[in-house]
Every structure is written in C-alpha cells, then in structure tokens.
C-alpha cells in the first residue's frame, strides 16, 4: 500500500477492525471476558467506543470474533499440515497430535472460550451465534476427514458421526486442560486415539460399502446376460 495515499473507507475500516480485535484479544486474555469493558478496549486500541460499535454490535460479538479468528487460523494450520503429509493415515494423525499440542499451549484462549460460552448460555440470541460457529467448524472438518480417508458419499452419515465425535472429544479435552484434568501429552494421545478408532471404522465401512456396490453391479450385469 502506498503510504502517501489516504486510506479508502474500506481500508480504514479494516485497519480499525484489526486494531480493535488485537486490543480486545490482549485484554480478554489478560483480564477475562467479564473483567474487560468496551471502554478499556477502545483506549487500548486508540479508538472511540463509537468506532468499536460501528464494527461490532456488542462486547459479546467482539469476543466471539476474537475466538473465531483464533480457532479459524489454528484450524487452517491443521488442514494445511494434514494435506502436506501425503495420504498415509498415520501421518495425518501425527499432524493432528502435533497441532493439538500447539493449540494446548495457549490455554488462556481456551479459558476465555469457556468463560464466554458460559456467559451467553442463557441468552438465546447470543448463544445461537456460538452454535453457528460450532456448525461452521463441523462443516470445515467433515470434508477433511472424508478426503483424508478417501471415502465417498456412500458413508457420509458415518463421516458426519465421526466429525461430531471428534469435535466433541476435542471440546471436552480443551475443558479438561482448563481445569487441569488432563495434561498436554495425554490430551494429544486421547484425541489421536479417538481419530484412529474412527479412521479404522470408516475404512471398514467404506470397504464394505464398496464391496456391496460392486456385488450389486455384477449381479445386475449377470441378470442382463
């Protein structure tokens, strides 16, 4: 970008949004969601409260944006590392284990996520936004699992169950890390083993489904003869 050129309205809004998100993340992680005010975020970002509300409807919307940005970036790194390993399932599982350890390093972000979800749980409208984010993560993970295993739509329901199962275990482990129920290595091992079990099941289902399809096709050809 040309430093001598004035920012366009869109560029200025993006710059403001990025500054607000950075300031909000720093304060939310340091003080917690409930302990942080919009006024504090505005002061840290060097913006007015009006500028913040021009980009985010509420403190809750701002916190959700912070969490979404963090987990989307983290998840994008996971997808990249999985596909970079090639087609061997064990390589993919190793990439997931390494990714989970790196995610676990930032326990404060997981603490913030738990605090935020609990704070909006009784507000139907705000909690609906949380469930939409969860649905988005599920939609991202579903095709990754199918592609890594090389399975087709014939076992799509099973892949859906695997996706929900893996995400649920991941959320549970994240909470377990927050309350110090499980450590980083054990947490990564549990997630990897969960994925290994689902991998085995899905491959068996895919093979069985493929064999059944081939049998029906051969039978149909024989009947035509």
Q: Mean pLDDT for each consecutive 10-residue tract of the chain (225 residues)?
A: 64 90 97 97 96 95 94 76 54 70 76 94 94 87 76 82 89 88 88 88 84 48 49
* Residues 64 and 168 placed together within one structural domain of the fold: yes
Q: Which domain holds residue 134?
A: 59-224
* CA dihedral of 120, 101, 134, 130, whole degrees rounded to 10: 20
The total domain count for the chain is 2
Give pLDDT, residue 24: 98
* Residues 125 and 17 placed together within one structural domain of the fold: no
- State the pTM of this model: 0.78
Give pLDDT, residue 1: 46
* Residues 69 and 94 placed together within one structural domain of the fold: yes
* Residues 51 and 93 placed together within one structural domain of the fold: no
Phi, psi at 86, each rounded to 5°: 95, -155
Cα dihedral across residues 63, 65, 68, 71: positive or negative: negative
* Residues 186 and 198 placed together within one structural domain of the fold: yes
Instruction: Locate 18 and state its tokens.
Output: 């990025």
Give pLDDT, residue 218: 47
Domain boundary residue among 33, 56, 79?
56
Q: Yes or no: say if 110 and 66 are a contact pair by the CB < 8 Å rule.
A: no
């Amino acid at each position: 970008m040309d430093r001598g050129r004035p920012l366009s309205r869109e560029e200025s809004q993006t710059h403001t949004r990025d500054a607000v998100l950075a300031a909000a993340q720093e304060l939310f992680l340091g003080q917690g969601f409930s302990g942080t005010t919009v006024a504090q975020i505005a002061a840290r970002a060097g913006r007015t409260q009006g500028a913040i509300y021009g980009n985010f409807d509420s403190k809750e919307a701002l916190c959700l944006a912070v969490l979404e940005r963090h987990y989307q970036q983290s998840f994008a790194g996971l997808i990249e590392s999985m596909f970079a390993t090639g087609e061997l399932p064990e390589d993919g599982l190793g990439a997931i284990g390494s990714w989970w350890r790196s995610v676990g390093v930032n326990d404060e972000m997981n603490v913030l996520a738990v605090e935020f979800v609990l704070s909006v749980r009784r507000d139907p409208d705000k909690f609906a936004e949380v469930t939409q984010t969860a649905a988005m993560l599920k939609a991202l993970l579903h095709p990754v699992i199918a592609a890594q295993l090389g399975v087709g739509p014939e076992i799509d329901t099973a892949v859906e169950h695997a996706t929900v199962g893996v995400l649920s275990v991941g959320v549970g482990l994240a909470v377990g890390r927050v309350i110090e129920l499980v450590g980083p290595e054990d947490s990564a091992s549990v997630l990897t083993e969960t994925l290994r079990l689902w991998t085995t099941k899905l491959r068996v289902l895919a093979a069985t489904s493929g064999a059944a399809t081939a049998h029906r096709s051969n039978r149909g050809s024989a009947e035509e003869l």
